[in-house]
């Protein structure tokens, strides 16, 4: 199996298909073989569309034979989080309420990847309505971590993290409102990019929080994420919040070294209360970046705890507003944990929400002042590796809520500030669980954090390690 096409990176397999060293059918069948092997253990897929995928692969091969390549991802099979509308397909959003919802439009991000030539493998599991950081789902079951199936994947892009890690798909769209791309990337040992708010259109993506939601990819490498982001980014008439700034060449940025860059390390909060193995991996990551020529400097950030609390206020209020009608009409169709979180959002006073919104500008200014003179900031994604499914189950573990709060501690401040962040695989625990670090950039400077992430991956092999089925 070591030479299976499914084990290649997105960038590698796209090049192999374009050069006709591999056919789309061969690549698609390789992914389907691994899906058949892993899906019973992981529960990563919501729907597997094997026959349709193979037919689409054959059409891609026929087009390529005639010289009619569609785009940069011609014939590459992908699956995505089941919250991106795809016209004519059921899009459950991980919920019972939308179990039979058939989309009448296609999301802009998904359409741009289709226009680049991708083949649809199916859809990927997710936390109900993307509102939870663990990967639990009361309607469709928990998604499991391929490195150890007793452990969580992180959420809400649970299927995306698990499927990319197990090499069932070369990449997957996720979404990040409070950490939902970076946490699965960290816990599953893949690369995940939370984009700047507005970089990628959110049209046709299930909303959770209209000021925090972001669209982004999970893949093996920073270069893969760069390719996908470049294809998706840009203005969209269907989303007035999408930026009309020119889209940089993110792939070109990943070829540049880190020599001469200044990378900040927080002196507090992001380095407090770390599990010993996370602290070790942070130190080892800094050592690699130093060897590659980066300068590591300490930065004193404003109180990040306040940002976490403010993010919770904004997310809870906006999510409750979006779900108010269903909470009145169909409360019995929600899972207990999601319903409780949504109902709690209804209790937040309007004044508290408005204060949290008003404070965003000053908080961002204070953060940028603190990191002035650096090119990016590095920090752990979470203070610990993946918890077990049992200890993070709110219904069965008395400590579950504390575990959940700890998981999201280091991700929510970045969401509140609207900044981009790249999670990269940076090491493993002694028991074999992945540990990720996040690179935090300035607004719309994804190129910089992708550059740093790619340089780190040229110097290490954590991103290329593949879990073994047991």
Q: How far is CA 55 from CA 46, 77, 90, 286, in A?
A: 20, 12, 19, 47
φ/ψ of 102, rounded to 5, equals -105, 120
Q: Which residue from 464, 366, 467 is spatially nearest to 12, judged by alpha carbons?
A: 464
Asked if residue 121 lies in contact with residue 115, where contact means CB atoms within 8 angstroms, the answer is no
Strands in 220-328 per DSSP E: 262-266, 295-299
CA distances to 6, 36, 41, 86, 466 from 148, rounded to whole Å, are 20, 18, 10, 32, 12
Active-site amino acid positions: 81, 156, 180
Report d(CA 286, CA 274) in Å as an integer.
Answer: 16
Rounded Cα–Cα distance for residues 57 and 210 (Å): 36
Residue matched to tokens 């997310």: 315
**How far is C-alpha 469 from the geometric centre of its chain's CA atoms?**
23
The DSSP bridge pattern shows strands 191-194 and 421-428 to be antiparallel
């Amino acid at each position: 199996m070591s030479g299976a096409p499914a084990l290649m990176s997105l960038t590698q397999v796209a090049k192999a298909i374009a050069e006709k060293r591999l056919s789309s059918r061969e690549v698609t069948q390789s992914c389907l073989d691994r899906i058949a092997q892993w899906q019973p253990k992981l529960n990563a897929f919501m729907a597997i569309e094997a026959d349709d995928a193979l037919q689409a692969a054959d059409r891609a091969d026929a087009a390529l034979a005639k010289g009619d390549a569609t785009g940069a991802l011609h014939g590459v099979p992908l699956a995505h989080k089941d919250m991106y509308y795809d016209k004519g397909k059921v899009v459950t959003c991980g919920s019972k309420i939308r179990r039979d919802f058939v989309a009448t439009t296609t999301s802009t991000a998904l359409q741009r990847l289709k226009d680049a030539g991708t083949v649809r493998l199916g859809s990927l599991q997710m936390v109900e309505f993307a509102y939870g950081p663990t990967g639990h789902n009361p309607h469709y079951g928990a998604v499991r971590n391929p490195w150890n199936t007793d452990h969580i994947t992180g959420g809400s892009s649970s299927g995306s993290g698990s499927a990319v890690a197990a090499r069932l798909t070369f990449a997957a769209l996720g979404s990040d409102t409070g950490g939902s791309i970076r946490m699965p990337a960290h816990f599953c040992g893949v690369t995940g990019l939370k984009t700047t708010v507005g970089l990628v259109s959110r049209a046709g993506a299930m909303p959770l929080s209209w000021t925090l939601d972001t669209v982004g990819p999970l893949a093996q490498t920073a270069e893969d994420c760069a390719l996908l982001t470049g294809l998706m980014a840009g203005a969209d008439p269907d989303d007035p919040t999408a930026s009309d700034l020119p889209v940089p060449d993110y792939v070109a940025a990943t070829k540049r070294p880190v020599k001469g860059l200044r990378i900040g390390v927080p002196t507090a909060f992001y380095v407090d209360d770390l599990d010993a193995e996370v602290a070790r991996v942070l130190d080892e990551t800094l050592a690699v970046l130093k060897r590659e020529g980066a300068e590591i400097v300490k930065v004193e950030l404003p109180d990040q705890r306040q940002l976490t609390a403010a993010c919770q206020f904004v997310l809870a209020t906006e999510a409750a507003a979006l779900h108010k009608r269903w909470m009145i009409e169909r409360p019995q169709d929600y899972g207990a944990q999601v319903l409780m979180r949504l109902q709690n959002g209804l209790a937040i006073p309007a004044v508290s929400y408005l204060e949290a919104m008003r404070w965003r500008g000053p908080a961002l200014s204070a953060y940028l002042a603190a990191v002035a003179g650096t090119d990016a900031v590095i920090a752990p994604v979470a203070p610990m590796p993946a918890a077990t499914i049992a200890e993070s189950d709110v219904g069965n573990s008395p400590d579950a809520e504390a575990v959940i709060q700890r998981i999201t501690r280091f991700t929510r401040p970045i969401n509140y500030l609207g900044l981009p962040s790249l999670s990269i695989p940076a090491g493993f625990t002694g028991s074999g669980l992945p540990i990720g670090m996040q690179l935090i950039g300035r607004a719309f400077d994804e190129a910089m954090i992708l550059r740093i992430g790619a340089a780190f991956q040229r110097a290490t092999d954590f991103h290329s390690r593949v879990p073994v089925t047991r």
